């Protein structure tokens, strides 16, 4: 019975958070992006009119997968056609949008970028997603996660 109440309290918290963001004039960043990740994002986008969209998609071994994809102006208009516009984080004119439907699952997640380092047995360059351990759990792959309610 206690578990049932904890789930509802957390869900009410997220609803209040989303509603306050909707009414607020202050910009509250729902996610964090490391300096290394910003550098890579800016280098990928370059001088194009594209931006990134950070979202959660159903699937994976834990229930959801992190998804970071390129979007253009038309995708942004489609994303913002609902009453709640997508929040975004901006640096040097480059924006990372957060999917409004996924935002409550992604809250306090950090996007980082790791570079190949053969001495540490890292053989690839990639974005990594670091969730708030109090809000979600991940599996060993680092791309799949499950929110804690």
pLDDT per 10-residue tile (average), the chain, 149 residues:
56 64 61 95 90 90 89 87 81 91 88 86 85 79 75
Q: 50 lies in which domain range? A: 29-147
Q: 109 lies in a domain?
A: yes
Q: 118 lies in a domain?
A: yes
Q: Sign (positive/negative) of CA torsion 35, 69, 121, 145? A: positive
Phi, psi (degrees; rounded to nearest 5) at 6: -60, -45
- Total number of domains constituting the chain: 1
Q: How many CB atoms lie within 10 A of CB 139?
A: 13
pLDDT in tens, 76-114: 888 888 757 788 999 988 999 999 888 888 888 999 999
Looking at residue 105, which CATH number applies to its domain? 2.60.300.12
User: What is the pLDDT of the chain when averaged over all its residues?
Assistant: 81
Q: 66 lies in a domain?
A: yes
Alpha carbons 23 and 101: distance in angstroms, whole number:
17
Q: 60 lies in a domain?
A: yes
Q: 3 lies in a domain?
A: no
Alpha carbons 106 and 108: distance in angstroms, whole number:
6
Read off the pTM.
0.76
Q: 64 lies in a domain?
A: yes
- Residue 23: the pLDDT is 59
Q: 37 lies in a domain?
A: yes
């Amino acid at each position: 019975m206690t578990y049932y109440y904890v789930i509802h309290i957390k869900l009410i918290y997220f609803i209040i958070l989303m509603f306050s963001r909707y009414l607020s004039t202050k910009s509250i960043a729902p996610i964090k992006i490391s300096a290394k990740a910003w550098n890579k994002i800016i280098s990928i986008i370059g001088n194009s009119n594209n931006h990134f969209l950070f979202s959660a998609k159903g699937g994976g071994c834990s229930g959801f997968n992190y998804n970071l994809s390129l979007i253009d102006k038309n995708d942004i208009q489609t994303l913002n056609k609902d009453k709640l516009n997508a929040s975004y984080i901006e640096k040097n004119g480059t924006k990372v949008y957060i999917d409004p439907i996924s935002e409550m699952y992604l809250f306090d997640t950090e996007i980082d970028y790791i570079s190949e380092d053969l001495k540490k047995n890292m053989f690839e360059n990639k974005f990594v997603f670091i969730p708030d351990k109090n809000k979600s759990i991940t599996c060993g792959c680092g791309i799949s996660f499950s929110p804690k309610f």
